[in-house]
Amino acid sequence: MTTSCSCRRRQWLGLAALTTLGAIGSIGALSLAGCGDRAADAQAIAPKEFGADTACELDGMTLADYPGPKAQIHFAGAADAAAPMFLCDTVELFSTLLQPEQVRKVQAVYVQDMGRADWDKPRGHWIDARGALFVRGSKRLGSMGPTLASFAQEADAKKFVGEYGGTVLRYGEITPAMVDLGGGSKGDTKM
């Protein structure tokens, strides 16, 4: 039986398409498996509460002394697995995570839900940062000045925007340019 050239070409293209779709499906399954592993890691590591004298690992500021949302990062292979890297501000969190030289494996990242926590003295109410919403550009200040207010619920984030201004962003929408800690006289436009 002879098959025409165009028929063979259609069969070959169909086989190539199925092979490609199969490969994409496999990659998707592997990607989802990776996400599941990361979610399992995050669930396995519970957030820790900071003490009255806990200092920010970037600047030494005492977390309990300043307003606004705080953050914690749990790195794989840390000397003390129970002790996260505490940060006094969510801008510092993203600045740390989005640096090109940041290569340590992150097991869990938590921020405070400002829909439930007291802005001036936030304690507890830790949520997974990867699923949180963040308000950028509000009138509320954190320990380092302008901050990213973190929320578990979209309704709380929108209510905050209505009261203090700003824009609601998801974790993956925050870019390095939004969290530049360069500052100094070059970054201070009021000088």
Chain segment 117-130, per-residue pLDDT in tens: 999 999 999 999 99
At residue 80 the predicted structure's pLDDT band, cuts being 50, 70 and 90, is confident
Cα–Cα–Cα angle for 66, 71, 85, nearest 5°?
Answer: 105
Does 10 fall in a domain? yes
Q: Are residues 37 and 88 in the same domain?
A: no
Does 90 fall in a domain? yes
Does 57 fall in a domain? no
- Statement: residue 30 has pLDDT above 90: no
How many structural domains are present in the chain?
A: 2
Q: What is the mean pLDDT of residues 28-35?
A: 38
Q: Are residues 182 and 138 in the same domain?
A: yes
**Contact residues for 167 (Cβ-Cβ < 8 A; gap 6+):** 135, 136, 137, 161
Burial class (CB in 10 A: 0-12, 13-18, 19+), 51: exposed
- Statement: residue 67 has pLDDT above 50: yes
Please give the structure tokens belonging to residue 93. Answer: 């969190």
Does 171 fall in a domain? yes
Which residue range is the domain that position 8 belongs to?
Answer: 1-44
Residues 189 and 42: their CA atoms lie apart, in Å, by: 39
Q: Are residues 2 and 69 in the same domain?
A: no
**Contact residues for 111 (Cβ-Cβ < 8 A; gap 6+):** 69, 70, 71, 90, 93, 126, 127, 129, 132, 150
Q: Are residues 29 and 89 in the same domain?
A: no
E strand segments, the chain: 71-75, 85-87, 106-112, 126-128, 133-142, 145-151, 167-170
Regarding pTM above 0.85, the answer is: no
Q: Are residues 161 and 95 in the same domain?
A: yes
Q: Which SS3 state, helix, strand or coil, does residue 10 take? A: helix
